[in-house]
Amino acid sequence: MPRTGRFHKDMTTNSKSERRSNQTTQISNRMNKVSPIPLERKLKKAIALLNTFSEFTEYQHGPRNPYLKWLGTNPALTRAQVIRFLCFWYPVSRHQPQILLKIAAAYPNWADRRLIMLNYWEEDGMAKPGDSPHYDLLEALIEKMGGKLKIDRQADKLVTQFHKTLDRMTPAQATGYVAAIEHPALDISAYFRTIIRLCGHSKLLTTDPYLTIHVDVEPDHIIWAHGNALRHMKTDSTGEILDAYQKAMSFWEEFWSLAFTRLNYPGNRAAQIDLSPAIKPRKN
């Protein structure tokens, strides 16, 4: 007897729910399968993916990163310099949740959207009850160091411009953008932890949630973002993916060149520093 009416509708709905449940399980496994693996092994996998994508950008990661090389010489950094650097970074942290939402919206495929949303929930403090948005944790870190959040005007302008370029994108472009956004994640974590130590606040490395949370999550973010890009490059437009990836990496190169002037990085002597007054933080 053919299925008709409400029974057929319920069966169709149940079938879709089952498929969605299976997709959820598969994605959760994809996101979490690295969780039981020791951090050292996750880092090895993440670095291998970074090496693959480094062929498409001038950005240097890890031991070849010029800023990490300089920080490795233990330059004398003041607390005021480090606070200024963190204030320069703040616009990225503040824009990140909305950027991830835009990227998620570009995907017609539910599984791709969910991958991005898992990252979004973490960034915007929605992963579990009691979490705070990462930009709030960053502001709290600045205050623990005796500073006050003063958003760098030059950084805010640069990040806002990049954010606006994401108003319209194809799924292939979204894939390239998210891979690039996550590409310097390990370096960024190393920047923060090193400069905090160099300005005399080593205790915060084990007690501050903003500093500790990224040590655990960044390798996973790199693995899924770059792994997803490689998967899409087998079926989507590789040219579109890499073009978006390179555009976002160009943003990072300009951003860090300016950010490190706040620490008097010697390689950026010629970089122009915007000394106009900082702007007030946005209120939620």
Task: Report angle CA 129, 134, 137 to the nearest 5 degrees.
Answer: 90
Given a contact cutoff of 8 angstroms between Cβ atoms, the answer to whether 157 and 115 are in contact is: no
- What the block records as the tokens of 230 is 């490689």
Look at residue 39 in the predicted model and tell me its pLDDT: 79
Contacts of 6 (CB under 8 A, 6+ apart): none
- The alpha carbon of 250 is separated from its chain's Cα centroid by a whole number of angstroms, namely 15
- In one-letter notation, the amino acid at residue 87 is C
**Residuewise pLDDT in 10s, the chain (284 residues):** 444 444 444 444 445 545 544 544 454 444 444 445 787 889 999 999 999 999 999 999 999 999 999 999 999 999 999 999 999 999 999 999 999 999 999 999 999 999 899 999 999 999 888 889 999 999 999 999 999 999 999 999 999 999 999 999 999 999 999 999 999 999 999 999 999 999 999 999 999 999 998 877 889 899 999 999 999 999 878 999 999 999 999 999 999 999 999 999 998 644 444 433 455 555 54
Residue closest to 158 by CA, chosen among 56, 256, 276: 256
Contacts of 166 (CB under 8 A, 6+ apart): 99, 102, 103, 177
Look at residue 268 in the predicted model and tell me its pLDDT: 62
Q: How far apart are CA 33 and CA 79, in angstroms?
A: 39
- What the block records as the tokens of 136 is 């709030």
Given a contact cutoff of 8 angstroms between Cβ atoms, the answer to whether 126 and 117 are in contact is: no
- In one-letter notation, the amino acid at residue 40 is E
pTM: 0.82
Look at residue 2 in the predicted model and tell me its pLDDT: 45
Rg for the chain, CA atoms, rounded: 21
Look at residue 72 in the predicted model and tell me its pLDDT: 97
Q: How far apart are CA 112 and CA 105, in angstroms?
A: 10
User: Structural domains in the chain?
Assistant: 41-268 (1.20.910.10)
